[in-house]
Amino acid sequence: MGTFSVAVRLPDKSRIDALVDTGATFSKLPSSVLARLGVEPDFSTLVELGDGRRLRRRVGYVRLGLGRKQALVPVMFGRAGEEPLVGATTLEILGLAPDPVRRTLGESRHLEISERRPRR
């Protein structure tokens, strides 16, 4: 599958280009951008990079916009020089899926196991 970038809207109305990475659990923005937005880390998590290395990342919540949708999503604090990413969790929360042929994001389905009603 090919890769592509999208414009991500930030809470201060600025935009940043980020690589769509369905192999990444969380989105990632530079720590300097998150500091400018006043984002504080809520937790840290161990992540495994594509080359097998593991490192601990801080994660905070940011209201991100993609296309006509926006939501509060978990975002990792990236190091200087690292590329911003839009990860799978953000795509799932917003109900978006990548179209690698058109290099765009389109609507996806939110799934639910059942609509079981309580017995009376």
Judged by DSSP in three states, 102 sits in coil
pLDDT at 119 over 80: no
The model's pLDDT over 81-113, given as tens digits with 9 standing for 90+, comes to: 999 999 999 999 999 998 888 888 888 877 777
Using DSSP's 3-state secondary structure scheme, residue 32 falls into helix
The closest of 61, 62, 75, 81 to 21, measured between CA atoms, is: 75
How confident is the model over 5-28, as a mean pLDDT? 96
Predicted pLDDT at 2: 63
Look up the CATH number of domain 5-106. Answer: 2.40.70.10
- C-alpha span between 90 and 81 (Å, rounded): 22
What proportion of the chain, given as a percentage, has pLDDT over 90? 75
Give the C-alpha separation, 13 to 19, whole Å.
19
In this prediction the pTM is 0.87
